[in-house]
């Protein structure tokens, strides 16, 4: 039922009217000054912030995305094969799918908990006098899965932060991109002051 409401012509027209009203009369210079003074912000309504980035910003974002989506699919199976422990393959699901989804819903919380679990186990092994930490890392599911969760959360959060920062820079540095985004109602200007 909610999807029907969101796709209804009346809702879409109302949303477009609200965006047009919020964006009315904004100039690029006013936007840049407001962003510097932190009196103006924006939200991406249609699409994702990475669509406004090009060059180095897009490259950094794509690298971070590959580190939490692709690298676990490549590294963890090799690691599981080397250790003859196929249970370690669960780390792929944790690092690539579960951790980023939870991090998206609860920013900085799940990643912090995973980091504390991983570091707590690491310090525990160190105090226990385990000199071959790598062996215990492989055989302690708790430590390994906490590391996988931290990996997924960390690179997901980095990708999110980079895409937002580079989108802001692109909109501030490229007036044509800014005016195009405003004209197509892809962004909505938010005035943060009185």
Q: Supply the mean pLDDT for the chain.
A: 84
Query: Is 110 within a domain?
Result: yes
Longest dimension (CA), the chain: 67
Residue 194 scores a pLDDT above 50: no
The burial class, CB within 10 Å (0-12 / 13-18 / 19+), for 164 is middle
Number of domains forming the structure of the chain: 1
Residue carrying structure tokens 């980023």: 100
Residue 134 scores a pLDDT above 90: no
pLDDT at residue 3 in the model: 62
Query: Is 65 within a domain?
Result: yes
The burial class, CB within 10 Å (0-12 / 13-18 / 19+), for 2 is exposed
The Cα–Cα gap between 182 and 46 comes to 11
Residues listed for the chain: 194
Range of the domain at 105: 26-191
Residue 111 scores a pLDDT above 80: no
Band the pLDDT of 131: cuts 50, 70, 90: low
Residues whose CB falls within 8 Å of the CB of residue 57, separated by 6 or more in sequence, listed in order? 162, 163, 165, 166, 167, 169, 170
Residues whose CB falls within 8 Å of the CB of residue 29, separated by 6 or more in sequence, listed in order? none
Pairing of strands 187-191, 40-44: antiparallel
Band the pLDDT of 130: cuts 50, 70, 90: low
Query: Is 7 within a domain?
Result: no
Q: Fill in the DSSP letter of residue 176.
A: H
Least Cα distance to 72 among 157, 137, 150, 152 occurs for 152
Query: Is 6 within a domain?
Result: no
Q: What is the pLDDT of residues 52-91, one digit of tens each?
A: 888 888 899 999 999 999 999 999 999 899 888 899 999 9
Query: Is 18 within a domain?
Result: no
Residue 1 scores a pLDDT above 60: no
In this prediction the pTM is 0.78
Q: What is the pLDDT of residues 147-189, one digit of tens each?
A: 898 899 999 999 999 998 999 899 999 899 999 988 888 888 8
Query: Is 122 within a domain?
Result: yes
Point out which residues pair with 40 in neighbouring strands: 191
Point out which residues pair with 41 in neighbouring strands: 190
Query: Is 151 within a domain?
Result: yes
Query: Is 8 within a domain?
Result: no
Point out which residues pair with 190 in neighbouring strands: 41
Q: Which of 76-80, 98-102, 114-118, 134-138 has the lowest mean pLDDT?
A: 134-138
């Amino acid at each position: 039922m909610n999807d029907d409401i969101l796709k209804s012509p009346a809702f879409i027209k109302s949303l477009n009217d609200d965006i047009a009203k919020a964006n009315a009369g904004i100039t690029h210079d006013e936007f840049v000054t407001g962003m510097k003074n932190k009196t103006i912000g924006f939200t991406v309504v249609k699409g994702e912030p990475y669509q406004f980035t090009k060059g180095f910003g897009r490259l950094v974002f794509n690298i971070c995305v590959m580190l939490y989506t692709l690298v676990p699919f490549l590294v963890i199976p090799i690691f599981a094969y080397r250790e003859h422990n196929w249970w370690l393959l669960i780390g792929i699901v944790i690092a690539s799918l579960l951790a980023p989804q939870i991090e998206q819903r609860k920013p900085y919380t799940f990643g912090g908990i995973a980091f504390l679990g991983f570091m707590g186990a690491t310090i525990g092994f160190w105090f226990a006098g385990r000199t071959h930490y790598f062996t215990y890392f492989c055989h302690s599911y708790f430590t390994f899965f906490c590391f996988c969760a931290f990996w997924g959360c960390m690179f997901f959060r980095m990708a999110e932060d980079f895409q937002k920062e580079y989108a802001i820079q692109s909109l501030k540095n490229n007036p044509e991109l800014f005016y195009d985004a405003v004209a197509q109602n892809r962004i909505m200007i938010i005035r943060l002051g009185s």
